[in-house]
Amino acid sequence: MASSHTSLLLLFICITATHSCLSARANRTAPCVNHERTTLLGFQRSAHGSSMLSLWSGTNCCAWNGVTCDKMTGHIVGLNLKGLSEVPPSLLSFTHLTHLDLSSNDFRLNPIPEFIGALQGLTYLNISEARFGGPIPPHLGNLTSLQVLDMSHNTLTGQIPTAKLRLEHEQHNRVNGGLSRVRHE
Ligand SMILES: *[C@@H]1O[C@H](CO)[C@@H](O)[C@H](O)[C@H]1NC(C)=O
Ligand SMILES: *[C@@H]1O[C@H](CO)[C@@H](O)[C@H](O)[C@H]1NC(C)=O
Ligand SMILES: *[C@@H]1O[C@H](CO)[C@@H](O)[C@H](O)[C@H]1NC(C)=O
């Protein structure tokens, strides 16, 4: 009786151990990068009243809402940030960022910061309905990998620097809020 319990228990341990070994191997996703997590926590502190960012907790920032990491390296490649009142300059420390969604924020008619043009890896930038104001900085033209740019529903003036943007595969590129749709005030 006792011995059959023991062997059952052993069998159970073996099965669970093997299973967890296999799944760990199958899903070897790199953990969140520590200094990137620290930067995100800074965003969280400055975002007052954002339910989305206030839910961020735990060590694995890759699992946080709006955060996408590269599975192999753990570096943050995508951010969707809500509840900000200014664009944090420390975004520049996310050197692997390709996808940035700042739509539906209230930047209080401040201009689009020039440093966004230094996020060289961006392929997707959405600043729709973000209450940006003033002239569009020519620095956006430095985002030469950009494939999707949505600037709709802001109060921007001037021209989107499309001449410098490499929009060569027309069907893959969407410039929303292009000149005809940018509101001039
Ligand atoms: C690996 O991760 C996926 C999705 O994150 C999950 O559905 C799946 O159960 C995991 N696989 C294993 C073998 O644990
Ligand atoms: C940009 O964000 C807005 C609001 O979240 C969304 O409706 C829109 O589809 C997005 N644009 C693109 C090109 O993904
Ligand atoms: C980005 O563009 C601006 C204006 O077009 C230019 O002055 C600046 O030197 C560029 N910066 C980089 C890093 O290329």
3-state secondary structure the chain: CHHHHHHHHHHHHHHHHHHHHHHHHHCCCCCCCHHHHHHHHHHHHHCCCCHHHHCCCCCCHHHCCCEEECCCCCCEEEEECCCCCCCCHHHHHCCCCCEEECCCCCCCCCCCCHHHHHCCCCCEEECCCCCCEEECCHHHHHCCCCCEEECCCCEEECCCCCCCCCCCCHHHCEEECCCCCCCCC
Distance in Å, CA 60 to ligand 2 centroid: 27
Given the CA of residue 164, which atom of ligand 3 is nearest to it?
5
Distance CA 113, CA 94 (A): 16
Dihedral pair phi/psi, residue 107, rounded to 5°: -90, 15
The pLDDT score that the predictor gives to residue 119 is 97
Q: CA 55 from chain center: how many Å?
A: 16
Task: Record the pTM.
Answer: 0.76
Higher pLDDT, 159 or 110: 110
Higher pLDDT, 178 or 40: 40
The set of protein residues with a Cβ atom below 6 angstroms from ligand 1 is 23, 26-27
Nearest residue CA, atom 6 of ligand 3? Answer: 139
Q: Is the CB of 147 under 6 A from ligand 2?
A: no
Percent of the chain past pLDDT 70, that is, above it, reads 71
Distance in Å, CA 143 to ligand 3 centroid: 10
Q: Is the CB of 154 under 6 A from ligand 2?
A: no
Tokens 């940006």 belong to 132
How far from each other are the two terminal CA atoms of the chain, in whole angstroms?
Answer: 85
pLDDT of 72 over the 60 cut: yes
